[in-house]
Amino acid sequence: MLPSKKEWENIISNFGIDNSDHIVIYDNSDVFSSCRVWYTFLFFGHNPNLISVLDGNFEKWKNEKRPTSMQIKKINRSNYTASKNSQLVLNKDQINKNIINNKFQLIDARSAQRFLGLQPEPRKELKTGNIKGSKNLPFQELVNIKEGRTLKKKEELIKIFKERQILIDQEIAFTCGSGVTACILGLANSLINGKKPIIYDGSWAEYGLK
């Protein structure tokens, strides 16, 4: 799922973003793709203090009558430089080894029906079920859907993690269908304990191939 370092540098440079810029990401999607962009900036070494996700999506912003514009800002290309933090991404071999040695908890952000194999996967080439030893925490449980799609408060997030028997003081990695909604869990975990998100990027799209 992740682009190469060169591809990322080219993409971000074309947006005129500098390494010293504070970036605020928002979206208007049901899968909270802003969290995936946040994670990608962290993976490529952007200062974590200079990368934020807007709490609530664009619809909430408009409903609150906040400023909007139809103009497209003229952008001057920058010279953004990236540095990969490979510790933030896991591959299939690392997932398989963890089934044996249990070095970290693997948390799946998909719905309970998909996790339990009771609902077919959206991709026909995938089998149903979950990665052995993983735990399920549907990403929707972390979000106030009816309150502008904001993330729940830290105390609520801690309670939800504990109810799912997730040990917040131990190593955690996140997975989902394709590496996107796992980043929502990663953001919630970072709010709980300040740790950067660790994502199995192939997720079920790779692991669940028939």
Q: Catalytic residue among 12, 51, 109, 176, which?
A: 176
Specify the residue for token string 């997932």.
95
| Cβ-based neighbour number of residue 193 at 10 Å | 12
Is 176 in the active site?
yes
Instruction: Please give the Cα distance from 131 to 207 (Å, whole number).
Output: 8
Phi-psi region of 111 (alpha: psi -120 to 50; beta: other; left: phi over 0): beta
Q: Can you say how many angstroms the Cα of residue 143 is from the centroid of all Cα atoms in its chain?
A: 13
Residues catalogued as catalytic: 176
